[in-house]
Amino acid sequence: MLRNRILVLMLLSLVLITPFSAAHAQENATKDLTLSNILSNLGPGSGQEMIWSIFLYLIFFIGLVVMMLIPEKQFFASMLNLGVIGLAILAKLMVGDPGDPDTVISKCELPTLVINSGIFVLPFIIAGMVRPTKGKPSKAVMPAIIMGFLGGAYFFLYWAQEQRTDCPSW
C-alpha cells in the first residue's frame, strides 16, 4: 500500500512539473532547434568539459546495462534506474555555463545540485532495492554500485572543479 502511494506521489510531482517545463520551453521558442545544435550538445566537447561528458556517458551506458539486468516485476527499481538515466541526459544537455546561450540550467543554480546528487544517490538505492530471484542474487547489484561510485565521483569532482570555483554563492 505504501509503495502505491509513493508511485502516485511520483506521478503527481511529474504532472505538477510539466506546466513549468512547457512555460520555460515557450520562453526559448524563438531559438531554432537544429540537428547540428543537438549533436553539438551531445558531443564530448573539449578541455574540462570532455571529462564531465565521459563521466555522464559512462553513467548513461552503465544505467542501460543495469536496466537490462534488473529482474522482471521490479517496477520501482526500474523507474529509479530510468530516473538516473534521465538525470544523466539532463546534466549533459541542459547544465552549463551561465553565459552560454545553449544553457537551460546554470551550473550555479540549485537544480544542478539536485540533478548531480540524484545521479550519486539513486544507484545505491537501486542496488539495495533489487530483490534476488530464485535464490540467486541479482546481477544488477554490482553494476548499480559501480554506477553509484561513478555518480559520486562526478558529483564531488564537478562541485570541486566547477561549482566551488566559479559560483560566488557556493
Does position 23 have pLDDT exceeding 50, yes or no? no
Distances (CA, A) of 142 to 26, 37, 64, 76, 157: 42, 36, 14, 18, 22
Does position 128 have pLDDT exceeding 60, yes or no? yes
Q: What is the domain partition of the chain in residue ranges?
A: 47-164
Which of 161, 156, 166 minimizes the C-alpha distance to 113? 156
Question: What's the half-sphere exposure (Cβ side, CA atoms, 13 Å) at 62?
Answer: 25
| Residue bearing the bigger pLDDT, 160 or 47 | 160
Q: What is the mean pLDDT of residues 39-49?
A: 77
Count of beta carbons in the 10 Å neighbourhood of residue 54: 14
pTM for this model (two decimals): 0.76
**Helix ranges restricted to H, 28-140:** 35-42, 48-69, 75-93, 110-129
Q: What is the mean pLDDT of residues 71-98?
A: 86
Q: What is the mean pLDDT of residues 130-147?
A: 87
